[in-house]
Structure 1
Amino acid sequence: MKEEDLNEALRDVIVRSTPPPSMDPAHTLDRARRARKRRRAAWAGVAAGVLVVGVGAGPALVANITGPRSVGQMVAGSPGTPSAFPSASTPPPVSTVAPTTAPNTRKTGDPWPEGQVDRTASAGPRADRSVTLMNDLSSSVPAGFSTPNLKDSDGHSLRWPQTQYASSDGEPDYWEYMATIPVQKDNRVGQLLVQSVTPDGKPAADICTVAKRFWGGTGTCTVTDVSGKKVGVLTTKGDGSYDQWAAYRYDDGTVVFLAQAKKCDRAGRTPLTQPIFTARQLAELAISPKFKIST
């Protein structure tokens, strides 16, 4: 006989020799009751184990809830791990790091913008814009005049550009780009100045009111129409640094001033005998797009 035949014969004998379960109702009911008691005993053991764990962990949990804690201590995982869902009553963190750039509206103590140490931008794109402004002004003088690189008695050039952060406390950011040059005819020297002021957020005003803002100037202002654009031309009595200037305000708030003087204070030279531009020419040049810097 093969091994497989022997195993099959043994299984057949075991099956045939096992009596079928009893069909007696009383016996069946008794077996069910014993099974139910075993289940209850098992569940009671589990409950007792949970209770023991709860009693041991309870003081620590209460201490965490009632005592000082960080949000992270209430979260499963390593102690001190911040919660991804902080309590609604937890205040947001307050930054103690000082800002490194000026805000849109200046306040006392704010840092100067773009890494500057004071109001003046001595390098970078903003400083370059004033240099361009100076070169454009030099190329604008009428025939018969020149713009030499003269120096004052201390050896400083009379041609100089300047870019300045102009905002005061409570004002939005705005900038002033300015350039001054000497203008010579024969052996006499006068000077020109151009200034472009970016939008400062102030409401539009009458153009002569705008003209009088230039260095607190006083004098007689007239409105000149240049191709439908209103330009304020203010003429002084000759007792200030400049004899005359034109002012124009663009719709976006950019303001351009163009000033002229027959004398050059720092040069110690004989003043010009005539203005560099007529009042009309000054007004026309003030609206030239090359002098508008809006950012």
Structure 2
Amino acid sequence: MNEEDLNEALHDVMVRSSPPPSMDPAHALDQARRARKRRTTVLAGAAAVTLVVGIGAGSVLVANYAGSRPAGQMVAGGPSTTQSGPTTQPVATPRPASTLVPPTTRKSGDPWPEGQVDRTATAGPRAVRAVTLMRDLTSAVPPGFSSPDLKYPDGSSMRWPQAQYASSDGEQDYWEYQAAIPVQQNDRVGRLLVQSTTPDGKPATTPCTMAQKFWGGTGTCAVMDVGGKKVGVLTTNGRGSYDQWAAYRYDDGTVVILAQAKMGAGPGRSPLTQPVFTPRQLAELVTSPKFKIST
């Protein structure tokens, strides 16, 4: 991160929160990472414009659409060229929808999608999905723990949802949904985070390689079998924002990450004495369908 990126990230945090920024390192790092990701490709351009191939009225279809070729002229009866004598208009055989509408790819200069002013969706269906994800994460908190509406020292909530357009320039459109909550036991507080990423068109990797991509996590990774599903569970070396997380990729390419940390409330609150979930519980929970968001 260069000086300009750091300034932008800090500015984003100040704009989003009217009180002074928190001095809690983990909280500041979380917000900086979220802000930086929203601005990763601002200089290169923004979201992609969906390509739609029209279907003409009557029995005549647009034929031979491929790549960036312009669509042929729509014909609603009658010949397409001026000729003497009768002519016969060929009718194209319909192609599967997957070939008519290829995956949208982000290009430099494109506007942000769906009327957004930046990567983050603050209203609409995507924002609602992120809020629902936060509620589902809260419902997964086991007995003996609670998830109150706690605040960081700067006054911002420890409970937050986020939906953001995650594609970089040249990549297929995809979205990333996150939700974080505090988890309290007696007077001690930790954190949970879930992230669901829609299919991005990239090839599958091993479960541990996938887990290691989450915020550049380093540590020890093990692959666990959950009813035939392979889950990567990474335990960090204690230097990251989270102590442990599980990663699972569905067959359609949706990726879900579930992370936990014993410390998460900043000064004035003690960390949990033990993780919220065991590694096995974490692996089982990350495969829960309620955390899967594929659109």
Change in CA separation of 1:268 and 1:116 when aligned onto 2, cut-off 3 Å: farther
Matches of 2:257 and 2:267, distance apart in 1: 23
Q: Which residue of 1 aligns with 2:294?
A: 294
Question: Where do residues 249-288 of structure 1 align in structure 2 (5 Å cutoff)?
Answer: 249-266=249-266, 268-288=268-288
Matches of 2:195 and 2:259, distance apart in 1: 9
Offset, 1:108: 1.6
1:178 aligned counterpart, secondary structure = strand
Partner AA of 1:179 in structure 2? A
Matches of 1:140 and 1:171, distance apart in 2: 33
Matches of 2:257 and 2:124, distance apart in 1: 23
Within the alignment, does 1:241 sit opposite 2:231 as a pair? no
Partner AA of 2:203 in structure 1? P
Q: Which residue of 1 aligns with 2:71?
A: none
Offset, 1:85: 6.5
Residue pair 2:207, 2:232 contacting (<8 A) in 1 also: yes
| Identity value in percent | 75
Within the alignment, does 1:182 sit opposite 2:174 as a pair? no
Offset, 1:154: 1.7
Following superposition, which runs of at least 4 residues in structure 1 exceed 2 angstroms of deviation? 265-268
Change in CA separation of 1:116 and 1:147 when aligned onto 2, cut-off 3 Å: same
Q: Which residue of 2 aligns with 1:113?
A: 113
Offset, 1:266: 4.6
Matches of 1:281 and 1:187, distance apart in 2: 23
Matches of 1:255 and 1:227, distance apart in 2: 17
2:241 aligned counterpart, secondary structure = coil
Offset, 1:269: 1.7
Question: Where do residues 185-196 of structure 1 align in structure 2 (5 Å cutoff)?
Answer: 185-196=185-196
- Indicate the structure with greater helix content: 1
Matches of 1:129 and 1:266, distance apart in 2: 28
Matches of 1:156 and 1:208, distance apart in 2: 33
Offset, 1:162: 0.3
Offset, 1:264: 0.4
Structure 1 alignment gaps of length 5 or more: 1-83, 87-102
Change in CA separation of 1:267 and 1:160 when aligned onto 2, cut-off 3 Å: farther
Residue pair 1:121, 1:164 contacting (<8 A) in 2 also: yes
Question: Where do residues 152-231 of structure 1 align in structure 2 (5 Å cutoff)?
Answer: 152-231=152-231
Residue pair 2:152, 2:265 contacting (<8 A) in 1 also: no
Change in CA separation of 1:268 and 1:201 when aligned onto 2, cut-off 3 Å: farther
Matches of 2:81 and 2:120, distance apart in 1: 47
Pick the structure with greater CA Rg.
1
Higher relative contact order (CA 8 A, sep 6+): 2
Using the size of structure 2 for normalisation, the TM-score is 0.65
Number of aligned residues: 196
Offset, 1:241: 0.4
Offset, 1:239: 1.3
Offset, 1:267: 6.4
Matches of 1:213 and 1:222, distance apart in 2: 15
Offset, 1:265: 4.9
